[in-house]
Chain A
Amino acid sequence: MTVQRAALPMRVSNNQQAMLLLLKLRTFIALFAVIIFFSIAAPNFLDLGTIIIMAKHVALNGLLAIGMTFVIITEGIDLSVGSIVGLTGMCAGWLILNGVPVGFGYEVYFNLWEIIAIVLCVGILVGAVNGILVTKLNVAPFIATLGTLYVARGLALLSSGGQTFPNLNGSSAFGTSWFPLLGEGRFLGIPVVVWMLIVVGLVSSYIALRTPLGRYIYAVGGNERAAALSGVRVNTIKMFVYMFSGFCAAIVGIVIASQLVAAQPATGESFELNAIAAAVLGGTSLSGGRGSIGGAIVGAFVIGILSDGLVMMGVSEFWQIIIKGAVIIAAVVVDQAQQRLQAHISLQREAALAR
């Protein structure tokens, strides 16, 4: 008799299990839904050309969303990524066009590898400023990165007096002639940007799931005090996530400058909002401790396909904005439902065990 009694409450109903699985896969389901919808509703949607264009759009937001996801998991936010995109693009343009003056009328021109390294460092540096503001100076992440949003944008505008750096075709003498390839080039038929997304995505996912660093990022966001008392170096972790976010934004900055073959100081305005939207759509919780890199990338795909698909259908731009907003809100509402159900199920299981 006792065996039967113990066995009975152990079972969590199959319905609930199925429901939970459905909720967990919601971003994928949303992705398939938009793909199926547009392949019926929009002509040419499944053309190779269209897919490649969309992939390039998505890759940029996806890269930003990866950096953003780590920051949000630590219960922070990085509003400065759009400005970092603008600033780093201008840096790349400046270095290609003007070089660095060393006095006596001479300029040093770097080759493209060096330029890429320098520009990535600029992105990381802005991220480090964010990190120092948040950790050492105890500024709320929202305010700290709002400040750097303005400062970085201002610097981008100052660098050219508001002008565009045009014709960034580079020169073979300085080893910068392949700059346009970053944006337009392909490898195995797939755009270079998409390869970048794949590489950065895989590395980030590995960090999140299989390294102590990743574990500590989740721990800091879940409960900072407990993490600190467990020996996690909270400030180091926070520094890392902001610097990594700056790094991702710098990649995007270079790629966009290359795609346009020009650097424009206003580039990247409001990119941070799309990155946040992608992260949240992918199941990242703004209250910290929860989220995944894969989710953020899928989220970026949903947003990207949604907006490109609506364009192809000829839906008014104003409606597009409304639909995007509604999708984000729906995602968070569904997320709440999943959390409740998940807590309910594991509570039931543990309660069954305690009887």
Chain B
Amino acid sequence: MSDPHRILLSIRGGTKVYPGTRALDNVDFDVREGAVNVLVGENGAGKSTLMKVIAGVEQLTTGEIVMEGRPVSFASTSDAAAHGIGIIFQELNLFPNMTVADNIFITREKARFGIDIAAKDQKEAAADLLRRLEHDISPDALVGDLRIGEQQIVEIAKALAQDVRILIMDEPTSALSASEVEILFRVIADLKARGVAIVYISHRLEELVRIGDYVTVLRDGRITGSRAMDGVDVPWIVRNMIGAASKDYAKGTDHTVGREVFRAENICLKSRRGGFAVDHVSLTLHAGEILGIYGLMGAGRSEFFECVMAQHRSATGSFFIDGKPMRERSVSGRIARGIALIPEDRKAEGLIQILPIRENMTLSSLRKFVSGFHLSLKRERKGVADFVRDLTIKIASAENAVSSLSGGNQQKVVIGKALMTNPKILLMDEPSRGIDIGAKAEVFRVMRRLAAEGLGILFVTSDLEEVLSLSDRILVMSNGRITGEFSSAEATQDAVVAAAAIGHAPEPATLEA
């Protein structure tokens, strides 16, 4: 055949089920030798799960993995590593308290007789690797002292150190500067020439088209497109990512936008790495308006929400609610003023997993059910039941631990908790993350309805289609700044993506635009 690249590893009929969601659904995926195998899809499409399966972090519920004709199963990462599979995780997996060299050789220490670490050899080998990556990071530096971009280089060096046959890169460029990206691409070309199979995940579509040899598109746990990269362009990828039959976004009941309910002026937050995580952000939100903030990871969107929610003492600037300044320093004070936050990370910030659904929902609004200091459980139960019905949360009993619910229902519990405080302004950080498509549509319908009832909604997303179809107005953030504002009529995918890339050097053309 015309196919020059041998298939090294393939997955057949791969299905992965988590409680409540089906992350992978009958997936067939091939990894080819000496080529860049690109994997692309929206958040929650299942890319990371697929990667974790190949790297041995997660195991398939059903389906098989075949490597060079033999079925294999990876019970752990070390199992996968023994088969020559390396992975560069999206969230950096480094030990900040150890040196660069120690990190690169962790669990594979060069040791004499298996006991005595040959520190000098390691240092030299580490320096070699870093030189290959054209960086002069000292092997003795503590990883915690490095910039995020440099840490990513170390992570890449770590993967290179283990002579892999398959190297998985999950968003390797998300924290790299333009010149560092160029270096990385040269390293990838070099690895390809040596016959290494590279699995490459990224949100930056131009990047994928440039370096990919094969492309596979995932949507909601299913493969929607898979072919050689020849002739593939960005629109083809987008079409497969989003699908021809667009999702049900319950396009709006027409509603009028009211007076201003919330205003932020010149919000600044210094970042730990120098510069600003939130850089002079000003915005206004009106009653009944859904204002979408689009941006890539690390654009400062979540940090801005944290400023609104009084999480950063050092933040400067001022907020106004109904035109009156909001000076409260405590979260409860701000909740009392009518702000409610639905955090990005449901598990770590939104819910208390071991407590019952009821106690989670009323946590922010317990005062409503108190007379004197006595808590009326009867009124509490009734209040919860009302919201469970209103938001159509599917639960067997409000007394079950919230951890037993599916992602979508958990998210609705978080929304219920926010709504029980009678907010005027709802802040939603990635409201559709990690929930299945049916629940997504329901969450969006709820957002529409709340806006129609006069609530101001400010939501953050890195899902392009979501921001375009849901928002009355769109703001784009990049590197802590607001880099674009569009009305829903004038917003196009290209314009929004271009604005989101401002400050990230790969698209210098848009800087002048």
A340 at the interface (CB under 8 A from B): no
Contact (Cβ within 8 A) B352 A353: no
For the complex, give the distance between the alpha carbons of A230 and B334 in Å. 10
For the complex, give the distance between the alpha carbons of A214 and B370 in Å. 13
Q: DSSP majority for the A interface?
A: helix
Q: Name B334-393 residues within 8 Å CB distance of A.
A: 334-335, 341, 343, 348-355, 359, 362-364, 366-367, 370, 373-375, 377
Contact (Cβ within 8 A) B396 A228: no
A342 vs chain B, min Cβ distance (A): 8
B404 at the interface (CB under 8 A from A): yes
Closest Cβ neighbor of A218 among chain B residues = B355
Contact (Cβ within 8 A) A226 B348: yes
For the complex, give the distance between the alpha carbons of A249 and B406 in Å. 44
Give chain A residues whose Cβ lies under 8 Å from the Cβ of B409: 350
Closest Cβ neighbor of A351 among chain B residues = B19
Give chain A residues whose Cβ lies under 8 Å from the Cβ of B377: 210
A63 vs chain B, min Cβ distance (A): 22
Number of residue pairs A-B, CB distance < 8 angstroms? 107
What's the interface size class on A, roughly? 20 to 34
Contact (Cβ within 8 A) B375 A223: no
Give chain A residues whose Cβ lies under 8 Å from the Cβ of B350: 226, 229
Contact (Cβ within 8 A) B352 A229: no
B417 at the interface (CB under 8 A from A): yes
Q: Would you give the 0/1 interface string for A325-355, flagging 1 where the beta carbon is closer than 8 Å to chain B?
A: 0000000000000000011001101111110
B7 at the interface (CB under 8 A from A): no
Give chain B residues whose Cβ lies under 8 Å from the Cβ of A233: 330, 332
B403 at the interface (CB under 8 A from A): yes
Contact (Cβ within 8 A) A349 B417: no
The one of A215, A290, A350, A351 that contacts B359, using a Cβ cutoff of 8 Å = A215
Closest Cβ neighbor of A214 among chain B residues = B375
Closest Cβ neighbor of A10 among chain B residues = B396
Give chain A residues whose Cβ lies under 8 Å from the Cβ of B359: 215, 218-219
Q: Name B392-430 residues within 8 Å CB distance of A.
A: 394-397, 400-401, 403-406, 409, 417, 421
Contact (Cβ within 8 A) B354 A225: no
Given A290-B354, A353-B396, are A343 and B363 neighbors across the interface (CB < 8 Å)? no
Contact (Cβ within 8 A) B355 A230: no
Closest Cβ neighbor of B330 among chain A residues = A233
Give chain B residues whose Cβ lies under 8 Å from the Cβ of A215: 359, 362-363, 366, 375
Contact (Cβ within 8 A) B400 A230: no
For the complex, give the distance between the alpha carbons of A97 and B228 in Å. 93
Give chain B residues whose Cβ lies under 8 Å from the Cβ of A228: 331
Q: Would you give the 0/1 interface string for A59-96, flagging 1 where the beta carbon is closer than 8 Å to chain B?
A: 00000000000000000000000000000000000000
B20 at the interface (CB under 8 A from A): yes
The one of A232, A342, A349 that contacts B363, using a Cβ cutoff of 8 Å = A232
Given A232-B332, A350-B404, A350-B405, are A219 and B396 neighbors across the interface (CB < 8 Å)? no
B435 vs chain A, min Cβ distance (A): 12
A222 at the interface (CB under 8 A from B): yes
Q: Would you give the 0/1 interface string for B321-338, flagging 1 where the beta carbon is closer than 8 Å to chain A?
A: 000000000111011000
What's the interface size class on B, roughly? 35 or more
A112 at the interface (CB under 8 A from B): no
Give chain B residues whose Cβ lies under 8 Å from the Cβ of A214: 375
B309 at the interface (CB under 8 A from A): yes
Contact (Cβ within 8 A) B401 A229: no
B356 vs chain A, min Cβ distance (A): 9
Closest Cβ neighbor of A342 among chain B residues = B401
A161 at the interface (CB under 8 A from B): no
Contact (Cβ within 8 A) A212 B396: no
Give chain B residues whose Cβ lies under 8 Å from the Cβ of A212: 366-367, 370, 373, 375
Q: Would you give the 0/1 interface string for A188-222, flagging 1 where the beta carbon is closer than 8 Å to chain B?
A: 00000000000000000000001111111011001
For the complex, give the distance between the alpha carbons of A212 and B343 in Å. 23
Contact (Cβ within 8 A) B396 A350: yes
A289 at the interface (CB under 8 A from B): yes
The one of A225, A343, A350 that contacts B349, using a Cβ cutoff of 8 Å = A225
Give chain A residues whose Cβ lies under 8 Å from the Cβ of B352: 218-219, 222-223, 226-227, 289
A105 at the interface (CB under 8 A from B): no
A103 at the interface (CB under 8 A from B): no
Closest Cβ neighbor of A228 among chain B residues = B331
22 A-B Cβ contacts within 8 A? Answer: A212-B366, A212-B367, A212-B375, A218-B355, A219-B355, A219-B359, A222-B353, A223-B353, A227-B352, A229-B349, A231-B331, A231-B334, A231-B363, A342-B401, A346-B401, A350-B20, A350-B395, A351-B19, A351-B20, A353-B394, A354-B394, A354-B406
Enumerate chain A interface residues (CB-CB to B < 8 A): 210-216, 218-219, 222-223, 225-233, 289-290, 342-343, 346-347, 349-354
The 6 closest A-B pairs by CB, nearest first: A222-B352, A231-B332, A346-B404, A346-B400, A349-B396, A212-B366
Q: A219-B359, A229-B341 are in contact. List 7 more A-B contacts (CB 8 A).
A: A211-B374, A214-B375, A225-B348, A350-B394, A350-B400, A350-B404, A353-B394
